[in-house]
Copies of this chain bind each other. A is one copy, B any other.
Amino acid sequence: MLELSLIQTRGFTNVTENGTVTGFQFLLRMPNYRGVWGSLVDGIEITVDGQSFPANAARWTLGGRAYTLDELQRTEGLHWQLDELATITVPVQGGLKPGVHDLAVSVLLRSPYIPAFVLPLRFDDRRQATLVPETTDIPGGFKYGVSTYSFTGDLHTLMTLEDAMADIADLGATGIELLTQTNIPGYPDPSAAWIDEWHRLTKTYGLTPTNISSWVDNQMWLDRDLTVEEATAQLQRDMRLAHELGFTSIRPKFGVTSPELDPHPTWEETVLRSLDLAQELDVLILPEIHSPTPIKHPVTQGYIEFIDRTGTDHFKLMIDTGIFQTVVVDDGHPGFDPDEVPPFLQPLKVPASELTEILPYVGFVQAKFFEVDETVTDLHVPWRDVLTALHAGGYSGWLSSEYEGRRDPYRARDQIRRQHLLMRSIEADLHRHA
């Protein structure tokens, strides 16, 4: 699906020709209620951060070919469809700096059935958009991914799973994290056609399945809990599904039995019975360390003791970076009393040094965040501390973006671009000073 704004979030980037950055480009939705012949386009006025470009400055790419405005106006059979985004390329030596830009456009169109004195029709849009650089992971450094949880509310309403994947690839990430009960149509028994499509899409967008988030719903009935056999069956079914979809780890969220999030007492037996399968499928089982449970807490320490005791290398910790949060988030959370900040949104302020201590036990990092502002500053999570600890400890696994801020339509799509920009710039800094 296309974004409602004319200027799309996806596709805002610099353009390199023969090794030189010669401009920037963005994707533009057809603003009129009907498509038009390319010859009826009268140009696009563009202002970026206060610098203006006249209507004929940009190149237009439509139907896979680039045109100057003059060339476009002389085309004969080219039709700009409503379901086709135009790529607008603006010549600026050196392009734009990676970051958040103020981008305004007026799209000018003629329409022969409208009297000439009214023409051209003028369609305006102005928004903040985040330009991401062409990126490659630093060898031996972090790997960058995004969880589809980030798109909560937008999926199935404003965007498809394929849109999410296109967004993730567009910002330079290479990993994708799914949620079993959220993203798999027909769960727990997706069709073979859907599984084929999943593999086709990951290939198309160059994405590696990272972790799948699942649940063991121990208290799914009112009158009794799952038996150990039933809980194990839930976990193992999802492990097989994870494996079939190409994921290399699974996060099972167990039912809890206390306000302190003590996991259901059957968790340990459930995992023990599944370690052989984890080995066989080579799928890591990752309990999530999530606010309000800090690192120095019996639950987390219980998992670590389990690892030490069993000697397994297929059970590790998933760290949700919400535990490092230093500032309260006051956005509310769907499903909860709006007058109360739920415990997991209270700043737990775990010091990053504690991460260093347990790093050998960490299998995955969910890069939870709530808001990165237009100066590319995170308002709640101290990324420099967290990434410094991970870097110093030699962590070379995934940072999987998990946006959990305001659920305004489309907001996540730009927020994850900002967050990746922020994390990558800190990592580059750490390598420069190494």
**Chain A residues within 8 Å of B, Cβ to Cβ:** 1-4, 29, 31-37, 39-40, 73-74, 77, 79, 81-83, 109-110, 112-115, 117-118, 121-123, 149, 152-153, 155-158, 179, 181-183, 185-188, 215, 217-222, 253-256, 258-259, 261, 264, 334-337, 342, 409
Contact = CB atoms under 8 A, between A and B. Distances in A.
A221 B115 contact: no
B155 A82 contact: yes
Contact of A34 (B1, B179, B219): B179
Given A112-B215, A115-B259, A181-B34, A335 B4 contact: no
Q: Which of A31, A185, A220 has the most CB of B within 10 A?
A: A220
A294 to B, nearest CB: 16
B182 A342 contact: no
B81 A220 contact: no
Given A4-B157, A4-B409, A113-B253, 12 more contacts: A31-B335, A33-B182, A79-B187, A81-B185, A81-B187, A82-B182, A112-B218, A112-B254, A113-B217, A113-B256, A122-B335, A123-B334
Nearest to A404: B33
A340 to B, nearest CB: 9
B157 A1 contact: yes
A208 to B, nearest CB: 23
Nearest to A290: B113
Contacts of A110: 219
Contacts of A220: 37, 39-40, 112
A398 to B, nearest CB: 20
A336 B118 contact: yes
Contacts of A182: 33-35, 82
Contacts of A35: 181-182, 187
A112 to B, nearest CB: 3
A219 B77 CA distance: 14
Nearest to A77: B188
Q: 5 smallest A-B Cβ distances: which pairs?
A: A112-B255, A121-B335, A112-B219, A33-B152, A113-B253
Contacts of A118: 336, 342
A83 B3 contact: no
A258 B121 CA distance: 17
Contacts of A39: 220-222
Nearest to A108: B335
Contacts of A336: 118, 121
A39 B222 CA distance: 8
Contact of A79 (B122, B157, B181): B181
A300 to B, nearest CB: 16
A15 to B, nearest CB: 26
B81 A335 contact: no
A92 to B, nearest CB: 28
A382 B32 CA distance: 28
A33 B215 CA distance: 13
Contacts of A181: 34-36, 79
